[in-house]
Amino acid sequence: MSRLARRFLFLISAIVATLTAGTLGFTFIAHYPPFDAFYMALTTMTTVGYGEIHPLNHAGRVFNSFLIVFGVTTMFIAIGAMTQTIIEQELGNALEKRRNKRMIDKLKDHFIVCGFGRVGRGAASELQHAGVPFVVVDSNPERAERAMAAGMLAVAADSTRDETLLQLGIERARGLVAALSTDADNLFVLLSAKGLNPRIYVAARAAEESAEAKMRRAGADAVFAPYSITGHRLAQSLLRPHVLQFLDFTTKDIGMDVSIEQVRVSESSEVVAKTLKDLQVSREFGVIVMAIRKSDGQMLFNPPADTAVQGGDFLIVMGPMHNLRALESLVAAR
């Protein structure tokens, strides 16, 4: 239960308890009928002051004196607490928006996740696990709140509008995930993103198979159809369960510090023109070079030891995360 809900529940309980005590007091001490006792207690607590419905005896007036003190105090505290809560809520929202704006303005080479549904949540969770800067945007305020509750930077806005993408730093962004609910919206976001930043890498979600080709023609760098992928993996789990287990082992966070990464070789790195045998990657870093994507787009699977590493190549390597970071430092620029 949230702090606001707990405070509201406490105030309601205090008012109801005081009103109940007043009703019982007027009923048994002043011998009022139950409804008249409730009405008298209510007018006393709210300081309306219509006067005594029936003449009060000495004991009734003593009880009413205490009810005035405690009842009016309870009502004032309730009104003050609710006013404070509303002000804190509004001020907190304003401060949170300003803080998010400052953080977004500082982002560079970040990722933008458009949509925080089931697909968007999975993408954002993976980016959060990787420790890269990113921002989530969703038109549903509840989803944006859910993302912020998970420790993510999030904004409640319409990602199909150019103004929203510009506010999220699309011109400085490294990549964008289009995971909205409809293919039309994802296609619209794709076109807007490529128009504002032609160099940005866009990965889009496609619900229909026919939309996949359209998105690729529109400039999407990667298009994923969740239903098709799920069906493929279901079949793989039946035909090649151990292969699927290996892929899950290297691509999902299952409690082991082993993953597959791509490591770019800088043009000014000291390893340029050296062979894999010279680098001794397996012995020195404890990682396996599974493939090399050459700068011209050619993919070399299981490269031989005499393969020379060139600037702009991407090494597809597998191993413990800290070893991968050490290899990345080696092949970076001097």
pLDDT score of 119 more than 60: yes
Q: Is residue 4 predicted with pLDDT exceeding 70?
A: no
Are 121 and 215 within one domain?
yes
Q: In this structure, what are the phi and psi dihedrals at residue 12, rounded to the nearest 5 degrees? A: -65, -40
Residue 292: which CATH number?
3.30.70.1450
Between helix 183-196 and helix 209-217 the angle, nearest 10°, is: 10
- 160, 153 contact by CB (below 8 A): no
On whether both 117 and 84 belong to a single domain, the answer is no
- pLDDT reading at 88 higher than 80: no
User: Do 119 and 11 belong to one domain?
Assistant: no
Position 248 in a domain? no
Last-in-domain residue among 208, 224, 240: 224
Q: For 241-278, what is each residue's pLDDT tens digit?
A: 877 777 776 666 545 567 788 889 888 888 888 888 88
Of 63, 79, 100, the one marking the end of a domain is: 100
The answer on 84 and 134 residing in a single domain is no
Query: 124 versus 229: which is more confidently predicted?
Result: 124
Structural domain includes residue 231: no
Total domains in the chain come to 3
Per-residue pLDDT band at 12 (split at 50, 70, 90): confident
C-alpha dist (Å) from residue 180 to 139, 176, 206: 10, 12, 9
Retrieve residue 10's tokens.
């406490």
What is the biggest distance separating any 2 CA atoms in the chain, rounded to whole angstroms?
Answer: 107
165-220 per-position pLDDT tens digit? 999 999 999 999 999 989 999 999 999 999 999 999 999 999 887 888 899 999 99
Query: What's the mean per-residue pLDDT of the chain?
Result: 85
Q: Is residue 322 part of a domain?
A: yes
Domain span at residue 320?
A: 257-331
The secondary element (H helix, E strand) that includes residue 85 is helix 58-106
> Which of 100, 116, 135 represents a domain boundary (last residue)?
100
Do the Cβ atoms of 203 and 177 come closer than 8 Å? yes
CA nearest neighbour of 324 among 290, 275, 273 = 290
Q: Looking at the structure, tell me whether residues 115 and 88 fall in a common domain.
A: no
Of all residues in the chain, the percent with pLDDT exceeding 90 is 27
CATH of the domain at 93: 1.10.287.70
For strands 134-138 and 154-156, give the pairing: parallel
**Same domain, yes or no: 131 and 199:** yes
- Of the two residues 122 and 4, the one the predictor is more confident about is 122
**Together in a domain, 66 and 23:** yes
pLDDT on residue 158: 93
Name the nearest CA neighbour of 177 among 166, 165, 163: 165
Mean pLDDT on 81-90:
72
pLDDT of 315-330, one tens digit each?
A: 999 888 888 888 888 8
Locate tokens 């008249």: which residue?
A: 36
pLDDT of residue 254: 47
Residues 116 and 96 in one domain: no
